[in-house]
Amino acid sequence: MSSARFIAVLGFALLAGPAFAQADKVVAKVDGIAITEKDIQLATEDLGERLAQLPEERKRDEVINYLVDLKLGAKAAAEAKIGDTPDFAARLAYYREKVLLDEYLTREGKKAVTPEAAKKLFDDTTKAMAPEEEAHARHILVEDEAQAKAAVERLKKGEDFAKVAAELSKDPGSGKEGGDLGWFTKDRMVPEFAEAAFKLKKGEVSEPVKSQFGWHVIKLEDKRSKPLPDFAAVKPQIDQYLERKAQQDLVLAMREKAKVERLDKPASPAPDAAKPAEPKKN
């Protein structure tokens, strides 16, 4: 059972208090047991991917139905005195500590996410990025070399590349777009294709090139240095990285300061006692 579900069922003191109770609107009852907006919020977080598959208008009903089952199940478990067992007490203590840690890391991690820190990380990262070349090309993909050579001959006679590609290319993606592959880096294409494409000059057409997919005729439309990512576009990923790194650093710092004793393992021998003492030589 997840930590969020334990909060919903047991109502930890962390979430209690007059202000919280007043603000927490009751939206349903099952056998007199209240289901609140806070319950819905916590259950929504807990259910996660299960809800993602549902249409938006069904999600709230699904969560409330889940909470009805949860409240009924928790009531039945309480009547069966499940909560009085040592195992349950140990499990409750474990999940209480887990929730405390999760909440602490979430709070402290968010402190590291500032506009200044995000911009600095972006600037430092982009400065360290080596310029990467991109090509914008079209291609005609056919089954054999003879068809590729025939396509090259038509192009040499002045036919439009996009027209010939739309007519001949077997590539289901680019064929309908006149063979247009858009912008790409070398590592996105099979080696034979990439080598041939990046050797061309702007406007040049290749001789037939064989790859695992068939025979290609390639036209280079243009080359450029790959543009740097837009800060606004990558900021969510930067914020996530800053938060996770702050959390990781916090856990490592706590562990570094703590005295950890493994009582389930024999103590490591002192360095001098690692080997038996050598007998004295006369």
**CA separation for the pair 39, 202 (Å, rounded):** 61
What percentage of the chain's residues is helix, strand, coil (to nearest 5)? 60, 15, 30
User: Is 216:175 a contact under the CB 8 Å cutoff?
Assistant: no
pLDDT band at 272 (very low <50, low <70, confident <90, very high): low
Q: Is 205 exposed, middle or buried (0-12, 13-18, 19+ CB in 10 A)?
A: middle
Residue 228 has pLDDT above 90, yes or no: no
pLDDT at 6: 36
**CA separation for the pair 194, 14 (Å, rounded):** 58
DSSP 8-class letter at 179? T
Place of tokens 């109770």: 21
**CA separation for the pair 67, 70 (Å, rounded):** 5
pLDDT single digits (tens) 187-208: 999 999 999 999 999 999 999 9
pLDDT band at 282 (very low <50, low <70, confident <90, very high): very low
**CA separation for the pair 121, 242 (Å, rounded):** 9
Report the C-alpha dihedral over residues 153, 159, 165, 166, rounded to 10 degrees: -140
Place of tokens 């280079």: 220
pLDDT at 12: 37
**CA separation for the pair 66, 276 (Å, rounded):** 65
Coil, strand, or helix at residue 220?
strand
Coil, strand, or helix at residue 86?
helix
Mean per-residue pLDDT, 78-94: 95
Q: Is 210 exposed, middle or buried (0-12, 13-18, 19+ CB in 10 A)?
A: middle
pLDDT single digits (tens) 152-192: 999 999 999 999 999 999 999 999 999 999 999 999 999 99
239 phi/psi in degrees, rounded to 5: -60, -40
Q: Are strands 180-184 and 209-211 parallel, antiparallel or unpaired?
A: unpaired
pLDDT single digits (tens) 31-81: 999 999 999 999 999 999 899 989 999 999 999 999 999 999 999 999 999
**CA separation for the pair 144, 221 (Å, rounded):** 24
